[in-house]
Each structure stands twice: as C-alpha cells, then as structure tokens.
Homo-oligomer: A and B are copies of this chain.
C-alpha cells in the first residue's frame, strides 16, 4: 500500500520528521503566530514543498494536531494497562502527560492541543472538531478502564464510570494549563498525586 513506487522525482525529505518539526513551531508559538517562514526554517523545506506535501497552513496545523492526538492516545492506552491497579494507571497517565508537558524539565510547553488548539477553536471549526474529538476520545478510553474498576470492585459499586473518567481527565486538563502557565514540576506532581487520591481513595 505505502511502497507503491510513484513515478516522478521522489521526495528529498521525511514527511513525518517534517511534521514533527512543524509541530514544535506551532507548539511554541501557537497557530496564528507561527509564520510560514518559521515553519519553513524549522523543517528545512521551502514553502512550495510544504504546500505540496501538506497543503496550506491550516491543513499543516491540523495534521500536526492529529498526529499529537494519535500519540497521546497510544501513550494513554499504554498507561492504562489493566493488569495494574487503577491508582497506578492514573499515576502513569499523569506522569506520562507531565513528561510531555514539561519537555525535559526546562521549558514548559504544556499540552499541544489544549495550549494552542483551544485558542483557534472558535474561529476554525475543523480545529474545534479535532479538539473536541480528542477530549472525548480521551474520556472514553479512561471510562473503559473505570468500568473495569467498578466491575472488579476497585471502585465502589455505585460509582459512575463516565463521571469518574471525566474528572480524571479534568485533572489532566489542569496539568496541561498549569504547566504552560509556568508551574513547577513539584507542584504539578503534587496535584497529580492528590488527584489520584481523590479519585481512588487514600491508600
């Protein structure tokens, strides 16, 4: 499927790597403030190459958002390994999120989606669509794990898996915002810990 040799001159760059570089530019500057010159410089691609591969700026941005969403869902599924306790699952979810948001302890970038797509969501319907879908997919994946936890007795019988999942997500949304606002790793880790405690009960 993907190795059908297309004829004509082949690409001299790796589209996936270029998307990653472009994503970093959007992540730092937001969609509106990122210029095609910025993107061109970061990817080492001329504007015509960018257009040829990804379409216009909005399309390129949507592609980076979609990639981030996918990566996030993969990390989430991994963190929610049902052979572990729910409290460990949640702790892993937050830890994995923070490792992305804090980006190596130094510059805090927060969540790419919440940090940049939120701003564009009003004016750009397709951005709002990706953002909304990302949030609800995230909720849904956690909800599945919550449902298991109710069945297995990890959570009390009357607990509402959907509500619990949304609150677990809420803690992550808060980490996303706060890390971009400059909060320290210690503070964020403390919030994650107390979130786990509140949802799963004290050990």
Interface residues of A (CB under 8 A from B): 28-33, 107, 109-110, 114-116, 118-123, 128, 131-132, 135, 160, 163-164, 166-167, 169-171, 173-174, 176-178, 180-183, 190-191, 194-195, 197-199
A181 close to B121 (CB less than 8 A): yes
The interface residues of chain A, by DSSP majority, are classed as: helix
A118 close to B115 (CB less than 8 A): yes
Q: Tell me the complex Cα distance, A148–B66, Å.
A: 45
Closest to A133 in B: B181
B121 close to A182 (CB less than 8 A): yes
B131 close to A181 (CB less than 8 A): yes
Other than the given A33-B119, A33-B123, 10 more pairs (CB < 8 A) read A32-B33, A110-B118, A160-B194, A163-B197, A166-B191, A169-B174, A170-B173, A173-B177, A198-B198, A198-B199
